[in-house]
Structure 1
Amino acid sequence: MTESRPDPEARPGGDEPLNPAELKTLIALIESVTVLQYRLEQQLREIAGVSFVQFQLLVRLRDAGGTQTMTQMADGVVYSRSGITYQAGLLEKAGLITRGPDPDDDRVRAVALTDAGRALLDEVLPPHVGLARRLLFDSLTGDDLPRLAEIMARVRDHMQAQPSRSATTVRRRRDDAGA
């Protein structure tokens, strides 16, 4: 019989209910992010026929000077490695990126933004930025923006410092096999 191990993501007191302020904050955050992402994705699909993840990959490539490895792309987007590979395949099929061996390391796949990918970004970015501004930034005052940026960066960094669910599962299997 395998002995039950505590969840490493759980913290003491983690089962306590949220207080009213925590619950209100959590719900507002989830609803805001959900609406923002849904509306941005809807616009991207209508204007350019790309998903939000595909758009993120194209922007990351542009910001990196046009080329990145598949590993760099997967590390920079919150998405599974197999999902990134699939999305890159769709972007390649659409002629927006190319994939091939990295000139510096044959073991690594490099991804490059094509001229068509750059043109698509040039077309999509102005309305995309306009929608993001209307949905998010227009509701903030001048003092809100730096405070919100600092808070969300701190929350993001805290979340990213936690072991991923997949790392926890692999660690548990390895521990169970050694037991």
Structure 2
Amino acid sequence: MRNVTLMDVFTHPIAQKYLRRSGVAHAVACAYHAYRLAVKSGVDPDVATKAALLHDIGHYEWYTDGEWDYEKYKQNDIHAIKGAERAHKLLIRLGEEPKAAKEIALAILLHTDSYLPEGDLDKNKLQQIVKKADELDEEPGGNHHYRKIDPELAAEKIKQLDRMVEQARLPMKKTV
């Protein structure tokens, strides 16, 4: 049994504020990619989908003369650091198991290397899944953050994903 569902996370006012800023459609799509990748890799789909859903909640909006400045964002952004902290605080507040909250926060922290010095880090499977889920939904110029989704459809997709996660976490029954 999960302490915190995706719907608990998705509907929390703090999550809603930052998901709207970074793109709800992108977050939902990444959560679905993470589910598929987690099941295929033997990683807990609960932590993978939560990390993917929240991976961009640290975004800060970089503007120049009232226009989104993608280059300024690329040069100065540390959204993964801020997002990891926000996600951890939110998950703990919601009652998530502390070990899972930490795993999710670390996966968010390492979903991009745009702020890290040169060189690769040795990432665990969950961290690789969140990075890959994000990459699978990227569009040139950061346009994936501006795709729209109807709020009711987004909520329905999260409910469906919650059901899929619950089903995937059930013990397999032996057939004779």
> TM-score by structure 1 length?
0.30
More strand by share: 1
By relative contact order (CA 8 Å, sep 6+), the higher-ranking structure is 2
> TM-score by structure 2 length?
0.30
